[in-house]
Amino acid sequence: MAARYQLALVLLLALALLGATLAWPATPAHVLLPRGPRGVAAVVDGQAVPRALYRRELGIYRVTLPGPRAGRPREAAAEDHALRQAVAATIIAVTAARWGLVATPAAVRAEFARMRKEAGGEQALAAIARAEGLRRADLWDMARTAVLDDLLRRRSGDPHLVDRLYSRARVTYDVGPQAGQRGLAPAPRVGHPAPELAATTLADRPMALSDLRGAPVVLTMWATTCTWCRVEMPLLERFARAHPGVHVIALDVGEDRATVAAYARALGLQLPIWLDPTADAASAYGLSGLPATFAIDSGGVVRTVAIGALVGRQLGGISRQLRTDR
């Protein structure tokens, strides 16, 4: 079991290099059951996402997702994560090729060596990979994708590039009973009404976005497993203190109350935290990853959409935008 846990950690670390698309669980049910023909799991901007890639990611998520080790809800979440990650990996490969970026053998070997070290050695990595149906070639492919992702981030100077590309991509899923439909709801657009959402507070009080109508809202969607979310929380705390007339809401996606409460206590968070344990509320916003922030004016209209962790400059722009639109 110790070896299995080590592999779970290294696979999570490797996957985390591919962007924030991993951070939240299932949305529409029709993305879940792999029934499509032709060996295609999805199509992203006209590029096929191989079913084999989806199956590889599914094997990983069946091991690494937190929570009960069995049950349909967990399997559904693993399937949804796997499909999103397969799409993200395809976006990385296509974008890197378009930009002329190549993962050199030396860079891939170095990344694989890091994965092997984190797993506890060659034998531990190989044995557990076999037990989970992962071939050595699958692990090398993961290392290659991580290298390409890093090259894209360096070239663009944008640590959230893949998330942004995903949020703009046209994706259809060749799976489930409604194959051919869009798997994600359209993300809210600037100048359009913010979708309604219902959630509960840490005190189990029901809340809705419409309850806040009449005052500006900064809505951040996040999760405790999201590294960039942790980075931006102190910024949001300071922003909330400096703007008492703005509702700053942190909506946790896909986690239970106890997990979120413990995390908030550990960080000393004072922000109002809402819970969306089933991800139903977040699905209305068509997210491809976390964190994501929406600035909504007092009339309920989206004024700013920010994918990825916020920086102080962005929060300053949000402040000016909300002040202008009140």
* pLDDT tens per residue, range 257-281: 999 999 999 989 999 999 998 877 7
**Residue 201: half-sphere exposure toward Cβ, Cα within 13 Å:** 11
User: What kind and span of H or E run contains 148?
Assistant: helix 136-156
Range of the domain at 102: 2-173
CA pair distance 258, 67, nearest whole angstrom: 13
Last residue of a domain, which of 140, 173, 206? 173
Which pLDDT value is given to residue 81? 73
Q: Which of 139, 157, 173 is the last residue of a domain?
A: 173
300 part of a folded domain: yes
Q: What integer is the mean pLDDT of 122-126?
A: 84
128 occurs within a structural domain: yes
User: Is 188 inside any structural domain?
Assistant: no
- Is residue 206 included in any domain, yes or no? yes
Identify whether 63 is part of a domain.
yes
Domain end marker among 173, 208, 243 = 173
Segment 215-236 shows an average pLDDT of 87
Q: Tell me 21's DSSP state.
A: G
Stretch 1-30: mean pLDDT: 41
Q: What phi, psi does 291 have (nearest 5°)?
A: -80, 160
Q: Which of 272, 136, 149, 301 is nearest to 214 (CA)?
A: 301
Q: Is residue 61 part of a domain?
A: yes
The predicted pLDDT at position 29 comes to 32
Q: What is the pLDDT of residue 70?
A: 67
Per-residue pLDDT averaged across 22-37, rounded? 37
Give me the pLDDT at residue 67, please. 56
Whether 161 and 209 map to the same domain: the answer is: no
168 and 204 both lie in a single domain: no
The SS3 of residue 44 is strand
Residues 207 and 163 grouped into a single domain: no
What's the pTM value of the predicted model, to 2 decimals? Answer: 0.57
Length of the chain: 326
State the total domains in the chain: 2
Q: Which of 21-35, 109-123, 177-191 shows the highest mean pLDDT?
A: 109-123
Are both 20 and 145 inside the same structural domain? yes
| Domain-located, residue 190 | no
Q: Which helix (H) or strand (E) holds 207?
A: strand 206-208
Q: What is the pLDDT of residue 186?
A: 52
Residues 153 and 202 in one domain: no
Matching residue, tokens 């991509």: 169
Distance CA 85, CA 88 (A): 5
Same domain for 210 and 300: yes
Instruction: Give the confidence band of 183 by pLDDT, cuts at 50, 70, 90.
Output: very low
Q: Are residues 218 and 297 in the same domain?
A: yes
Q: Starting from the edge strand earliest in sequence, which strands make up the sheet with 171-173, in order?
A: 47-50, 40-44, 171-173
